[in-house]
Amino acid sequence: MKDADIIVIGAGAAGLSVASGAAQMGARAVLIEGGEMGGDCLNHGCVPSKALIAAAAAAQGMRDAGRFGVRTVEPEVDFAAVMDHVADVIAGIAPHDSQERFEGLGVRVIRGHARFVGRDAVEVNGERLTARRIVVAAGSRPFVPPVPGLDGVEYLTNETVFALRERPAHLLILGGGPIGVELAQAFCRLGSQVTLVQRGTILTREDPEAVEVVREALTREGVTLREGAEVKAAGEDDGRTWLRIGEERIAGSHLLVATGREAAVAGLGLEAAGITGDGKGIAVDRRLRTANRHVFAIGDIVAEAPRFTHVAGYHAGIVIRQAMLGLPAKADHSRIPRVTYAAPELAHIGLTEAEAREAHGAVQVIREDMSGIDRARAERTTEGWIKLVLHRGRPVGVTIVGAQAGELIAPWVQAMAAGTRLSTLSGLVIPYPTLSDLGKRAAGAYFSMKLFGNPWVERVVRLIQRVVP
């Protein structure tokens, strides 16, 4: 007799979903968490960053009000109150992820750090537990690059930046991925001087044309971008932190390291369970099983998987179907959407144009500008566009850059998952005026190119006009 049907290590988005689903289906579930319930997303990631971005947008709205005929004013930012807002948003969501709620669902919650002591056994707080299935959902932690001198600097990461109570006078950000870009713009809008340093270009994974729209917005608002800059050293002098790029030193009041994430495998004792894993993550098959068939790995700790909260939830569903219901299920990461929540937002699903050309050779690209959408004109948010990348008439990739791009990508997520035809999307009746008309217009443009100006279509139309009464 095992101590449990399923043991889940990690109470972040992935682990919580598995534990709650298993318990509500009648399984004996144990959930082990050594840190905060809710994991990175609730406490240090998605939730606090979007709350901060919302406050920053409110401040920027006061600066941009002149476009509507409203007097522009420079906002007075009470930074401590802004961070109170961030904390309040976290506190409002926290009960949903709390130990009390999960114990109410029938989950045994143990607060402590788990490590494997056998192929089907873990130890936590000196207690040995066994289970038929074990799920590793320990997540990831900030990756700190091996920059000489950085270990002697008091730097911030996403795990500490939201605890600030005083606004940084000059925030240096090392890293130009989504976290670095989002927080660079947010702190700039809240009144900090911001310099972002990136080894290559910002948002390297994204469509370069879309990145240029975001880049222009950042620089227009006052963010200093140092792209193509390799940091040779870091240090502190007279209470100021500096980064050395070549022979130049850039100094600031605070340094935020936002150079990506690494899998939190340290201390798990994976070798005792016959599992292979390193800072890149745990190796799994398409069913998310590790080298030990009794152990699954899900969420940020999986090697080669996109590190997003929505992927964690997706993984959880795959494990539940297998472990609880005995149904076959496999992960497919080829159509995972992603969004960078800058202003304008940048959303994407599938292949970029460059990736599609490499994979398929000949592709068709359709682009519709936001400036052609009446709602965008009314709200003065005409910056941006949608780009459809088509292969044999079907979308293989969609990029949207502009206001609410994260919302506008949703129908394309569904369309690509279901194999929906462009004719269906172009035939939708969209309420007027909405930004959603952007997607419909892009789909319709595919048929407009085939129908309008086509001599064969013109001949058929003339014939029909003559013979049909």
3-state helix, strand, coil split of the chain in percent (to 5) is 40, 25, 35
Mean pLDDT score of the chain, rounded to an integer?
96
* Higher per-residue pLDDT: 467 or 363: 363
The secondary structure of residue 237, as a DSSP letter, is E
| Cα(105)–Cα(382) distance, integer angstroms | 47
| Cα(194)–Cα(14) distance, integer angstroms | 34
Residues of the chain with CATH 3.30.390.30: 344-451
Which residues 6+ apart lie within 8 Å of 130 measured at CB? 2, 3, 4, 118, 120, 121
Q: How confident is the model at residue 375 (pLDDT cuts 50, 70, 90)?
A: very high
Average pLDDT over residues 388-402: 96
For 95-126, write each residue's pLDDT tens digit.
Answer: 999 999 999 999 999 999 999 999 999 999 99
Q: Assign 405 to helix, strand or coil.
A: helix
- Left if phi > 0, otherwise alpha if psi is -120 to 50, otherwise beta: which for 312? alpha
Q: What CATH homologous superfamily does 4-142+262-323 map to?
A: FAD/NAD(P)-binding domain (3.50.50.60)
- Output the CA angle 43-219-407, nearest 5 degrees: 50
Select the CATH number that applies to the domain covering 344-451 from these four: 3.40.50.10490, 3.30.390.30, 1.10.287.110, 3.30.70.20: 3.30.390.30
Bridge partners for 282 per DSSP: 277, 302
Does the structure show a pLDDT above 80 at 457?
no
Does the structure show a pLDDT above 90 at 219?
yes
Q: What are the structure tokens assigned to 381, written together?
A: 């948010």
For 11-29, write each residue's pLDDT tens digit.
Answer: 999 999 999 999 999 999 9
| Cα(381)–Cα(353) distance, integer angstroms | 25
Q: Tell me if the domain spanning 150-259 has CATH number 3.30.750.24.
A: no
For 25-67, write each residue's pLDDT tens digit.
Answer: 999 999 999 999 999 999 999 999 999 999 999 999 999 999 9
Q: How confident is the model at residue 454 (pLDDT cuts 50, 70, 90)?
A: confident
Q: Name residue 145's amino acid.
A: P
| Cα(345)–Cα(371) distance, integer angstroms | 15
Does the structure show a pLDDT above 90 at 251?
yes
Residues of the chain with CATH 3.50.50.60: 4-142+262-323, 150-259
Q: How many residues does the chain have?
A: 469
**366-383 CB burial, b ≥16 within 10 A, e <16:** bebebeebebbeeeebbb
Structure confidence at residue 379 (pLDDT) = 97
| Cα(166)–Cα(169) distance, integer angstroms | 9
Tokens 């159509």 map to which residue? 335
Structure confidence at residue 1 (pLDDT) = 60
The secondary structure of residue 379, as a DSSP letter, is T
Share of the chain above pLDDT 70, in %: 100
Q: What element of type H or E holds 346?
A: strand 345-350
Tokens 């800072």 map to which residue? 279
The number of beta carbons lying within 10 Å of the beta carbon of residue 454 is: 12
Which residues 6+ apart lie within 8 Å of 463 measured at CB? none
Tokens 């997303």 map to which residue? 41
Closest of 344, 391, 387 to residue 363, by C-alpha: 391
Does the structure show a pLDDT above 70 at 176?
yes
For 276-322, write each residue's pLDDT tens digit.
Answer: 988 899 999 999 999 999 999 999 999 999 999 999 999 999 999 99
